[in-house]
Amino acid sequence: MDPQDRKTESEAAATGSATADRPVAQLEPDGSLLLTGLPLAPVPERVDPAGIVFRGAPRTQPGPPMPYSITQRKMVWADNLHELIERAKRRQWNASTDIPWAAGRNVAPDLEDALAGVLTWMLQQEYAAWYLPAKFVGQIHPAYTEAGIFLSTQVVDEARHVEAFLKRLYLNGVGLREVSPGTESSIKGLLMQEDFARASFLLHVLGEGTFTDLFHLLIEISPDDATRQIMVRSLEDEARHVAYGVGRLQTQLSGEKDPDLLGQQFVEALEGRLSFTYEVSGLPPQVQEALAILAGGGRSPAAQGRGVPRIRQFIAELNENRKRRLLQAGFSEQVAEHISQLHIRSSGGLM
């Protein structure tokens, strides 16, 4: 290539116009380059579990067989993936420096104790949200790399939530509270899921859906500003994870002749959980009690007179929001209601 050609090509690249036979990447007006600006091969409906390269690579022979379990677009793709990837990168935060930790001092002992009970339980759920996407990332065929990129942002988000919750737990010396065996076996049941679509439904749609509502509540009832800021930041992360789960489910349901048949499979996954677990994405009684102490501002009868009704109301909001997400994803009213009811049962009852 002579220098003149090179200049012409670099000029073309700067403006985003195509060279003779190869389209170049399109830059955004501010000079940034998004994945959507690349002339990538279309996302295939399904691929063989083989090869270690992005879609569209020329090859003369088949790639080596690989233990990918996610080899269909409908299992993992969401139309909002690109937007979510960009949002995730823009909104990263630092649990060491972005939380006003000094504002978390001098909390009344009853409230600090109640908060520790809530945070210990939440911390355990964070491990589910952390380890489950981490487990599946290596099972995604590289043809669906964008999904792997997004789930990797979730892995970082959840690791940060664990870090932030641990810091708040130990900030005033209280630390972790007693672990409930039911919570652990319930989380184990989720982590042992081998089917990504079911795992994503249980985690992203049901579990993290509940968590976004819980973050909203904690923003309202946190006893201090450090905790409140943790909840504000985590809520934003969590909302992205739920948006992926709902987007993924929409993709899967839109390809089904009978979406409710798939709903039935998810119902079976929930019923399977019912046989040995009573928590994962609902709120166990001890957590509801601790939330009522935070909501009322203490343990006195007067405080409980305020706190208990607020948490009852919150549980009703949880159920409404869950059903709304199921309808939004594309389930019929009947299946959405059924899943919602099963979820309530698998959540260990209400206050």
Residues that bind Fe ion (CB under 5 A): 126, 129, 158, 161, 208, 238, 241
Residue nearer to Fe ion on the CB measure, 322 or 338:
322
Within its chain, how far is the Cα of 223 from the centroid? Answer: 26
Residue nearer to Fe ion on the CB measure, 291 or 303:
291
Smallest gap from Cβ 121 to Fe ion, in A, equals 13
Q: Which residues are CB-neighbours of 212 under 8 A, at least 6 positions away?
A: 235, 238, 239, 242
Q: Which residues are CB-neighbours of 200 under 8 A, at least 6 positions away?
A: 245, 248, 249
Smallest gap from Cβ 133 to Fe ion, in A, equals 9
Share of the chain residues as helix, strand and coil, in percent rounded to the nearest 5: 65, 0, 30
Residue nearer to Fe ion on the CB measure, 126 or 146:
126
Residues 340, 345, 347, 351, Cα dihedral to 10°:
100
Count Cβ atoms below 10 Å from residue 57 Cβ, excluding itself: 12
Residue nearer to Fe ion on the CB measure, 205 or 336:
205
Smallest gap from Cβ 321 to Fe ion, in A, equals 16
Smallest gap from Cβ 149 to Fe ion, in A, equals 16
Give the integer Cα–Cα distance in Å for 208 and 84: 16
Smallest gap from Cβ 117 to Fe ion, in A, equals 18
Give the integer Cα–Cα distance in Å for 285 and 303: 18
Residue nearer to Fe ion on the CB measure, 43 or 137:
137
Question: Token pair for residue 54?
Answer: 């992005």
